[in-house]
Chains A and B, each alone.
Chain A
């Protein structure tokens, strides 16, 4: 049973997509998009989930919400004070779960139905759950619009009247409507201009502290993740490579992949020496079932063991330190370079 301040704890989450071929659509293999992920988030905290395109971040987020069905694994979520396994919920319970978990999408253009007014979009969660109607519905929607910084006069407008940033605010208001405890932000700022990204990030931060929200913040932009997250998990080809408290992870990474990712972060200091680690070779094929660490063909530190045995996610934190999990055989032996804390 998970700890008491945990909101979400997932164990060995897997999602395999079948590859079908031929006239009879026979299954000829699987893509292991998520292949045994363990994660946990405490109440009121923000967990950043980073990794390159196609590493399974989004799939993990959608499995947690049961937007897609996980192949295997457990998703323990605290609902009304009790833990339930989201992966095994029946339809009835799932509808109840929807009120506790919401999602903010990446593309603010695709995620709003262009044929509905702002009032209908933000009000939909309230209407389908029978929480408000008529005058009360309008008041609640206006209240939500104010919370996310939209003018209430825009109530009857359609999404085509808004810019990307404003649309994302509408999406956030919709996610907040049911007063959820967990919000999965799936690349929620990556489709926006940099200046707008900052506004939306700050809005998300403000809302988090105001309502005590918990975020699973999926992104590929490390500076964005550093700005908002309490803890960061790094994912590589369906598996977790490293999890640590944000500053620890950025300053002293323990996994070679994390080091390579961090070396690509642009620094605001023009005199900073750039020592980019260029990964050679292709990312491993998630349909490939060969043994060994997925990262070893691209890893500068790989040794013979790496090609044979898949490393397990294990703790490398000393006694009294914050939790630090790494999936690397030689985590303790390597001295890897991070980025220094911002001195601003």
Chain B
């Protein structure tokens, strides 16, 4: 949807355009509203939900980071540095200790001291060693998307320095890089899981709502049964059933399937209720009366009428999937190292010692919270915009 496509006087939302003291309505503006399809009307309405738009942008960023994590991350997520274990986040500085300002950001060298009695490690900044942060540096080599070899990173420091933006973990691995790699797994599991639930939900819910009768009754009882099982024990039982010798990728898909086997019920109900209400709509009867066959009625009249609602509820059900994966992995029942997901990373923060001494290890949890909140806000915006014809 391009910028010129928008009407300058929107009577479609609560705010309208407030700029200027008078709103000039031209014939072209009105005509643009009159010939606007449902998706255009939805977009105009969605745009007014600022929080949803911001969340949408944030989610795009998070997913982009996940997709390009090899390039954005300064380090290999499995590269460990025993001399820098549990290092706190390094501050990016523009002003050095002598007060000289420079536009070029840099970090000081981390210096480790071990307490001679408690063996506790503390870090101080060695202000004599300055490592400037550079863009497009060569570093650890990786295989981009498993396709081609490269060692180019978005940023980093040279000459053997380190840049741990979010600190390091018990093996001295860079947490920032690990969070990026975790984003790839954690956010995509939500998408794939929901995709699977979506397919199951639309097919089962659609048949249930369209045919009704005994078939519908049986499906509804099954859904009620599935929904009455406590989720965590069921997840635990199912994931305990995954063979431990499976390769990581297969475990990943196994967990996705487990999550969506429970997730489809909500969507199936939404689809079913939409079918039930649309079946009685006058315009559906009108289509039947002019001789349209059932396939055309479903594809041309019913599906477009509820698609936007389904997209909204799908968006609202992604957070459940992400939280599910995180909880399972946190409990050690989902994904396991060497796979990196936010839940796996949080496993490191399970004891009070880490929480007290290395609180930065909780940051993957913050990422989960941000992502889930963004999906909720985006879903709210989509849901409000989903029916532009509501009167």
Residues in chain A within 8 A of chain B (CB atoms): 25, 65, 67, 95, 98-99, 101-103, 105-107, 109-117, 124-125, 128-129, 154, 156-158, 160-161, 171, 174, 177-178
Q: Which A residues are in CB contact (< 8 Å) with B305? A: 113, 115
Within 8 A of A (CB), among B264-305: 281-283, 285-293, 296, 300-301, 304-305
Q: List 25 A-B contacts (CB under 8 A).
A: A25-B217, A67-B289, A95-B291, A102-B289, A103-B286, A112-B283, A112-B286, A113-B305, A115-B37, A115-B304, A115-B305, A124-B292, A125-B290, A128-B287, A128-B290, A154-B34, A157-B34, A157-B35, A158-B34, A158-B37, A161-B33, A161-B34, A171-B286, A174-B286, A178-B290
B246 at the interface (CB under 8 A from A): no
Q: Which A residues are in CB contact (< 8 Å) with B301? A: 113
Given contacts A111-B283, A113-B301, contact A128 B292 (CB under 8 A): yes
The contact of B389 among A106, A114, A178, by CB within 8 Å, is A114
Q: Which A residues are in CB contact (< 8 Å) with B34? A: 154, 157-158, 160-161
CB nearest to A96 among chain B residues: B291
Q: Which A residues are in CB contact (< 8 Å) with B288? A: 67
* Inter-chain contact A158/B290, CB cutoff 8 Å: no
Determine which residue in B287, B293, B305 has the highest number of CB atoms from chain A within 10 A of its CB, and name it.
B287
Q: Which A residues are in CB contact (< 8 Å) with B282? A: 105-107, 110-111
Name the distance in Å between A30's Cβ and chain B's nearest Cβ: 18
User: In whole angstroms, how far apart are the Cα atoms of A95 and B41 in the complex?
Assistant: 35
Name the distance in Å between A285's Cβ and chain B's nearest Cβ: 24
B38 at the interface (CB under 8 A from A): yes
Residues in chain B within 8 A of chain A (CB atoms): 33-38, 41, 217, 281-283, 285-293, 296, 300-301, 304-305, 388-389, 391
Interface SS of chain A? loop
Q: Which B residues are in CB contact (< 8 Å) with A98? A: 289-291
Given contacts A112-B283, A113-B283, contact A156 B292 (CB under 8 A): no
Q: Which A residues are in CB contact (< 8 Å) with B281? A: 110
Given A103-B285, A160-B389; 20 other pairs, CB 8 A cutoff: A67-B285, A98-B289, A98-B290, A99-B291, A102-B290, A105-B282, A105-B285, A107-B282, A109-B391, A111-B282, A111-B283, A112-B283, A113-B301, A113-B305, A115-B304, A124-B292, A129-B291, A160-B33, A160-B41, A160-B388
Interface SS of chain B? helix
Q: Which A residues are in CB contact (< 8 Å) with B300? A: 116
CB nearest to B284 among chain A residues: A113
Name the distance in Å between B32's Cβ and chain A's nearest Cβ: 10
Q: Which A residues are in CB contact (< 8 Å) with B35? A: 117, 156-158, 161
Name the distance in Å between B213's Cβ and chain A's nearest Cβ: 9
Q: Which A residues are in CB contact (< 8 Å) with B290? A: 98, 102, 124-125, 128-129, 174, 177-178
Name the distance in Å between A247's Cβ and chain B's nearest Cβ: 33
The contact of A110 among B36, B38, B283, B292, by CB within 8 Å, is B283
CB nearest to B293 among chain A residues: A128
Q: Which B residues are in CB contact (< 8 Å) with A116? A: 300
Q: Which B residues are in CB contact (< 8 Å) with A25? A: 217
Q: Which 7 A-B pairs have the closest CB atoms?
A: A161-B34, A125-B290, A111-B282, A98-B291, A110-B282, A113-B283, A114-B389
User: In whole angstroms, how far apart are the Cα atoms of A113 and B38 in the complex?
Assistant: 11
User: In whole angstroms, how far apart are the Cα atoms of A61 and B300 in the complex?
Assistant: 26
Given contacts A115-B38, A156-B35, contact A128 B389 (CB under 8 A): no
* Inter-chain contact B289/A65, CB cutoff 8 Å: yes
Determine which residue in B35, B36, B286 has the highest number of CB atoms from chain A within 10 A of its CB, and name it.
B286
Name the distance in Å between B190's Cβ and chain A's nearest Cβ: 29
User: In whole angstroms, how far apart are the Cα atoms of A69 and B357 in the complex?
Assistant: 75
User: In whole angstroms, how far apart are the Cα atoms of A154 and B301 in the complex?
Assistant: 21
CB nearest to A66 among chain B residues: B289
